Amino acid sequence: MKQLMLGNAAVARGLYEAGCCVISSYPGTPSTEITEEAAKYDEIYCEWAPNEKVAMEVAFGACLAGKRSFCAMKHVGLNVAADPLFTMSYTGVNAGMVIGVADDAGMHSSQNEQDSRHHAIASKVPMLEPADSAEALEFAKLAYELSEEYDTPVLLKMCTRIAHSQSLVELSDRVVPETKAYEKNIAKYVMMPGNAKRRHPFVEERTRKLTEWAETAPINRVEMGGTKLGIITSSTSYQYVKEVFGDSVSVLKLGMVNPLPVKLIKEFAAKVDKLAVVEELDPIIEDHCRKLGLEVMGKDVLPLEDEFSQNLIAAKLGGTVHTGAALEDAIPPRPPVMCAGCPHRGLFYTLSKNKCTVLGDIGCYTLGAVAPLAAMDMTLCMGASVSAIHGFNKARGAETEGKTVAVIGDSTFMHSGMTGLANIAYNQSNSTVIILDNSITGMTGHQQNPTTGYNIKGDPAGKIDLEQLCKAMGFNRVRVVDPYDLKACDQAVKEELAADEPSVIISRRPCALLKYVKHEAPLAVDTAKCVGCKNCMKIGCPAISMKEGKAHVDNTLCVGCGVCEQLCGVKAFHSTKKEG
């Protein structure tokens, strides 16, 4: 049976058909849907882990026990999981283990544009890279075969376009291999220096064997066309090349991007007059070709940054330009903003009003950096806000302690904020950390986390009490505040910054987009009272605008949070519920 399927859903289907039994992941766009889709198959145990390192270690434990396993993450998540990855390359596996990583060229939802192929090369782990949903399914299954045949974890690399586009896939039945027996093997699995030294030659020999396999593997295929130009490519770039050139050029389409073949590439190059490599981000394939002594076009004409497109490739290499109809009307810019009723808005307004230096973190609340709030000074990576404020205050002391805060979401805090908080408690900087608890993992689409009390399927699960956790870590000052209450927020921030010891503020209110949240009636503006001071515009709520010099509320967006009402000195805002 054939079915139109999202790339990430196709990976999940491939995991199901391959008999995968355990999946542990941390949500990260564009990888999130793999695990969400896999969770729909009752035969697979799925979970959200606190972070990617934990997820990878869970998957390793499952494969060690003899069951096929999987973990998924986005490209920056692989940085977090690099520690176990590099050593798993030495230990190898028992049952098959596949690691899904999704890159984000164009940085649609990421803080950098790194190329995960570097991790595959550095860790000496094979990497497969599908170019559509059909390959996503088949490569997921193939990855398990390679994992078990060559005793290695296998990386399956997606990217935003392949993960979130749809194409036809052919479905098959689920086949679960027999559980592999677990046998104690200290030399293989205990990576103390003496054992690790003996495993390194195995890794190098495995790479040589995988390179030989890549020479004739069907996923590395030559499509001969015109011979004036030959293009080596992979992933979504392959789709662009075919759309631009069709059969007018010859193409070597690579499905395995580490290790790369040698003979296959040389033989292909000998058949064409000119050779080019089309790959997004870094020149991995291009550099490999140059090491083989081949003259090749690549990053000398194509960019190192951002996503490619059909027209970019046509402009740089020739070929058919795809034209479209331009819209007659100019589309106004729509910068990202926090949603109407976002519980973080009141807290960020308070920080902005008090002219605080705010060390931020990764989450939808990063939008607190956007005007008009502009209430964030730094965002680096998951958990960095908590570690950074400690260093910031240790460097400047009393000069900054009373006006600097760290902000971090509840899910991000569980991911990697706890160790930074432990450092503050242990090494005693006078730092104030604000946990923005919106009761969900918001940025990636409302996934559960260890503080919500529910698992990936929405069933009741263990729940971590943030207040008790912070107190147990050594904080005497832990308080909870409602971010819709501006007066309480202002008081909490001022008091904790004035205190002469570390403190934690938990700003708690559920995300306004959660289905179970019941909103108040929308607000409206009494234009007779409104003086057009624009004080309400300072919070950057998308439901509020100015019309003919007066504030106006869009009742299709307003959730009645009342934050704007607290800012209005002339009491022009009122609830429409009263009108009923």
- Write out 397-447 in H/E/C secondary structure: CHHHHCCEEEEEEHHHHHHHHHHHHHHHHHHCCCCEEEEEECCCECCCCCE
In the chain, which segments carry CATH 3.30.70.20? 523-575
Pairwise CA distance, residues 362 & 349, whole Å: 19
pLDDT the model gives residue 580: 47
Residues 91-145: tens digit of each pLDDT: 999 999 999 999 999 999 999 999 999 999 999 999 999 999 999 999 999 999 9
Beta-strand pair 477-481/256-258: unpaired
Second CATH level (architecture) for the domain 221-317? 3-Layer(aba) Sandwich (3.40)
259 prior amide bond cis, ω within 30: yes
The class level of CATH for 344-508 reads: alpha beta
| pLDDT band with cut points at 50, 70 and 90 for residue 190 | very high
- Please give the structure tokens belonging to residue 309: 């497109």
Beta-strand pair 221-223/256-258: unpaired
Pairwise CA distance, residues 167 & 172, whole Å: 16
Q: Hey, what CATH topology would domain 523-575 get?
A: Alpha-Beta Plaits (3.30.70)
Residues 43-58: tens digit of each pLDDT: 999 999 999 999 999 9
The model carries a pTM of: 0.94
Residues 191-210: tens digit of each pLDDT: 999 999 999 999 999 999 99
In the chain, which segments carry CATH 3.40.50.920? 221-317
201 prior amide bond cis, ω within 30: no
Sequence length of the chain is 580
Residues 323-379: tens digit of each pLDDT: 777 777 888 888 888 999 999 999 999 999 999 999 999 999 999 999 999 999 999
Helix (H, G, I), strand (E, B) or coil at 568: coil
- Please give the structure tokens belonging to residue 200: 């390194």
**Which amino acid, residue 105?**
A
Pairwise CA distance, residues 351 & 386, whole Å: 16
Second CATH level (architecture) for the domain 2-214? 3-Layer(aba) Sandwich (3.40)
Residue 165 pLDDT exceeds 80? yes
In the chain, which segments carry CATH 3.40.50.970? 2-214, 344-508
Pairwise CA distance, residues 371 & 551, whole Å: 18
Kind and range of the H or E run holding 102: strand 97-103
Residue 407 to residues 347, 364, 381, 384, 391: CA-CA distances in angstroms? 10, 12, 12, 10, 15
